[in-house]
Homo-oligomer: A and B are copies of this chain.
Amino acid sequence: MGYATAPGARPRALALGELHASLTDPVLDAMNFLNEVVSRFPEAISFAPGRPSEGAFEPDDLARYLRVYTEHLERELGWPRDRVRTQLFQYGRTNGIIHDLIARSLANDEGIHVPAEAVVVTTGCQEAMLLTLRALFARPEDTLLVSSPCYVGITGAARLLDIALCPVREGSGGPDPEALLAAVRETRAAGGRPRALYVVPDFANPSGASMTVAARERLLEIASQEDLLILEDDPYGFFVRAGTARPTLKALDRDRRVLHLGSFAKTALPGARVGYVIADQEVIGPAGERSLLADQLSKVKSMTTVNTSAVGQAVIGGLLLESDCRLREANAEAIAFYRANLNTLLGELERHFPAARRRALGVGWNEPDGGFFLVVDVPFVAGPKALERSAQDFGVLWTPMSDFYLDGGGDTQLRLSCSALDPGSIAEGVGRLAAFVTEQAAEADR
């Protein structure tokens, strides 16, 4: 049964090695280490977490959002008080109670037109990933392709479910459609069944890379041709720095190849823990009976969280109603804030590492069109030891890029996030980072 005897103590202890393998996955260990370092150096300037800015949020806003939502039910929909009470108090519809408001917002903000019944409201986007993976992946050979470097939320959820993973290398324009095609064919040749690709098309976490519209069209073409589904995750799409917003894969999807995973953590507030997935694919049962994939996800959700908190949904519902279901417009200030922050970060990097200096040092970075993240190339191994040194001696935190690779890579890269800092901290932080990089480069040179 996997108990080890704890010396001197009567209660038996469990052996970690006897617990599920996901608990000792390197990705989870890396994240734990990162959190631990961040908590040990609370005074450091942190480019590590991808948290949203708390902006103008006030705790009292919550009560107002709740009131706006209940008034909507009573006044606009004409619900009696008893029904409103049941909506907020009781167990509710598994797939959510604000699915209609989300569908309206998606139509306004993204030009995505789906029936409300195709929207599954989830406990944050993380649960949307979990439900989607559970429903779609049935056999050991079913393989999830992931754009690599990759957000750890999807690889972690796949580990929980023992799902096989295959990384597809990203270029500066996001996942390369031709590399995807090659990966699909290699997976098949090795006996795997490529089932879906996970991709963040806009300002990806961690790379900051974005796909061109042409690459999106080609990706959808390959998905059709190779009978692949696309899991599109788009938490940062609003936050454009340069150029204009591009259509999501779901907006371009004519063949229902795309499941669109959504989050309100960056565009509203993480504390409500409300996300969603659009699953408008048709499912056909053995006797020819038809349902939406969303209805199948509902069965999974009834066994993960039963339903998403009505209180959390009411908060997001009120917030959507206040903006007349135009969340992009409601995010105008946030969009400007993140744009300014990313511009400040790029400007400070340029100031501290002008062209000649970065050539001499072997330093470089990408210039994302938006989002929260960019990646810096450095002339030394940017792993846990370097991070510890950076925090301890220079008071600046960042994320090792190697944490985001399944198959090695990113050893001499670090991710900077500028979403939760003010411009002054960004300037000061880049100064500290420059001092750290300079010292490490000199050491590496010796």
Q: Give A residues with C-beta under 8 Å from B.
A: 1, 3-4, 6, 9-23, 28, 31-32, 49, 51-52, 54, 57-59, 62-63, 66-67, 70, 81, 84-86, 88-92, 123-124, 126-127, 130, 134-138, 153, 156-157, 159-161, 193-195, 227-228, 254-256, 265, 269-274, 281-286, 290-291, 293, 296, 299-300, 302-312, 314-315
- List residues of chain B with CB within 8 A of the CB of A28: 299, 302-303
A13 vs B296: C-alpha distance when bound (angstroms): 13
Known: A90-B270, A227-B1, A311-B311. A281 touches B11 (CB 8 A): yes
Tell whether, in the assembled complex, residue B70 and residue A88 are in contact, meaning their CB atoms are under 8 Å apart.
Answer: no
Task: Establish whether residues A85 and B59, one from each chain, have CB atoms under 8 Å apart when the complex forms.
Answer: yes
Q: Which 7 A-B pairs have the closest CB atoms?
A: A1-B227, A271-B310, A156-B303, A273-B309, A11-B256, A13-B282, A63-B63
A104 to chain B, nearest CB (A): 22
Query: Which of chain B's residues has its CB closest to A91's CB?
Result: B270
Listed A/B pairs (27) with beta-carbon separation below 8 Å: A1-B227, A6-B282, A12-B255, A13-B290, A14-B282, A17-B286, A20-B138, A20-B300, A21-B138, A22-B299, A28-B303, A49-B91, A59-B89, A62-B66, A88-B271, A89-B270, A90-B271, A92-B271, A124-B305, A126-B306, A134-B160, A157-B303, A272-B310, A273-B307, A274-B309, A309-B309, A311-B315
Which chain B residues lie closer than 8 Å to A136 at the CB level? 19-20
Partner of A283, one of B16, B138, B293, B308: B16
Partner of A91, one of B51, B86, B282: B51
A153's partner among B58, B157, B303 (CB-CB below 8 A) is B303
In contact, A14 and B271 (Cβ under 8 angstroms): no
Query: How close is A424's CB to chain B, nearest CB, in angstroms?
Result: 16
- Contact (Cβ within 8 A) B66 A300: no
B-chain residues with CB within 8 Å of residue A91 when the two chains form the complex: 49, 51, 265, 270-271
Chain B residue nearest in CB terms to A295? B32
B304 with A304: CB separation less than 8 A: yes
- Measured between alpha carbons, how far is A126 from B256 in the docked complex, in Å? 31
Contacts of A283 in B (CB 8 A): 13-16, 19
| Contact present for B84 and A59 (CB under 8 Å) | yes
User: Cβ of A303 and Cβ of B22 under 8 Å apart?
Assistant: yes
**Chain B residues whose C-beta falls within 8 Å of the C-beta of A134 in the assembled complex:** 20, 22, 160
Using Cβ atoms and an 8 Å threshold, which residues of chain B touch A272? 309-311
Query: Which residue of B has the minimal Cβ distance to A158?
Result: B303
Contacting residues, chain B, for A282 (C-beta < 8 A) = 6, 9, 11, 13-14
Q: A23-B296, A193-B1, A255-B10 are in contact. Are A306 and B124 (CB under 8 A)?
A: yes
Q: Nearest residue in B to A270 (C-beta to C-beta)?
A: B91
Distance in angstroms from A18 CB to nearest chain B CB is 6
Taking CB atoms, residues of chain B closer than 8 Å to A269 are 89-90
Neighbouring B residues of A32 by C-beta, 8 Å: 299
Chain B residues closer than 8 Å to A52, beta-carbon distance: 90
Instruction: Report Cα–Cα, A183/B136, bound state, in Å.
Output: 34
Report A445 CB to chain B, min CB distance, Å: 35
Output the nearest chain B residue to A122 by Cβ-Cβ distance.
B305
Complex contacts, A11 vs chain B, CB 8 Å? 254-256, 281-282
A430 to chain B minimum Cβ distance, whole angstroms, is 24
Q: Which residues of B contact A6 (CB under 8 A)?
A: 282, 284
A179 to nearest B CB, angstroms? 20
B residues within 8 A CB of A123? 123, 127, 273, 305, 309
A238 to B49, CA, bound (A): 42
CB of A130 within 8 A of CB of B303, answer yes
Which of chain B's residues has its CB closest to A3's CB? Answer: B227
Within the complex, the shortest CB–CB distance from A54 to chain B, in Å, comes to: 5
How far is A21 from B140 in the complex, measured between Cα atoms in Å? 12
Are A135 and B90 in contact, CB atoms less than 8 angstroms apart? no
Q: Are B304 and A130 in contact (CB under 8 A)?
A: yes
In the complex, chain B residues whose CB is within 8 Å of the CB of A303: 22, 28, 126, 130, 153, 156-157, 159-160
Q: Are A20 and B135 in contact (CB under 8 A)?
A: yes
A256 CA to B90 CA in the complex, in Å?
Answer: 34
